[in-house]
Amino acid sequence: MTALTGITDEMVTGHRFHDAAITAFVEGAVIVIAHNSGFDRKFAERYWPLFEHKAWGCSMSEIDWRKHGFAGAQLGYLLNGAGFFHQAHRAVDDCHALLEVLDFELPTTGSPALALLLETARKATLRVWAEQSAFDLKDSLKRRGYRWNDGSDGRPKSWFIDVDETALEDEIAFLKTEIYGRDVEPGVRRLTAFTRFSNRV
């Protein structure tokens, strides 16, 4: 962590989060946006239950940045692609930098990146579980975009993928023909911005 941020143990010793200030800051928020909500939401909910009741968006995964001309989804790539220079890695500085990126007008849409992020965040997605799939088919699942869950969080020990509601039929067809070789009714859970990225689902 020190190599990434430059922050040492000595710099944070004796400091703590101020729960009242965090609650006051977040309370009126309509949506929480992070540049890795898959990590940040779990961390936030662990310490401040208020975050469980908020809609979340992820500026890293809910915009296909490469499709819009960027080299990648990392913040440095986005800033460079938007014409900004940013060297610091402090939380507040990163937040300000991300605001600049989200305000950047995408040449492919003519609208700010934030508009595309909010459009994506508003859509429901479906989490499809490929439970009890054969081990030797894991590479096929990985190529398809499935991720592994080890079961330690109370969810199935299984491969899973999140897809748009319109893609469910195609996903079941893939599992039927390529993974199970038979009719299958996989476990499916509907996710929204209020549950997506949380450990609770």
| Distance from C-alpha of 43 to C-alpha of 58, rounded to nearest angstrom | 14
| Tens digits of residue pLDDT in 125-148 | 999 999 999 999 999 999 999 999
pLDDT for the residue numbered 1: 54
Tens digits of residue pLDDT in 41-51: 999 999 999 99
Q: Are strands 31-34 and 55-58 parallel, antiparallel or unpaired?
A: parallel
pLDDT number for residue 110: 96
CA distances (Å), 42 to each of 11, 23, 83, 104, 179, in order? 25, 16, 32, 28, 31
Q: Is the pLDDT of residue 201 over 90?
A: no
If pLDDT is split at 50, 70 and 90, which confidence band does 93 have? confident
**What band does 15 get if pLDDT is binned at 50, 70 and 90?**
confident
- Report how far Cα 197 is from the mean position of its chain's Cα atoms: 6
Q: Which residue has the higher pLDDT, 200 or 150?
A: 150
Q: How far apart are CA 200 and CA 155, in angstroms?
A: 9
Q: What is the pTM assigned to this prediction?
A: 0.86
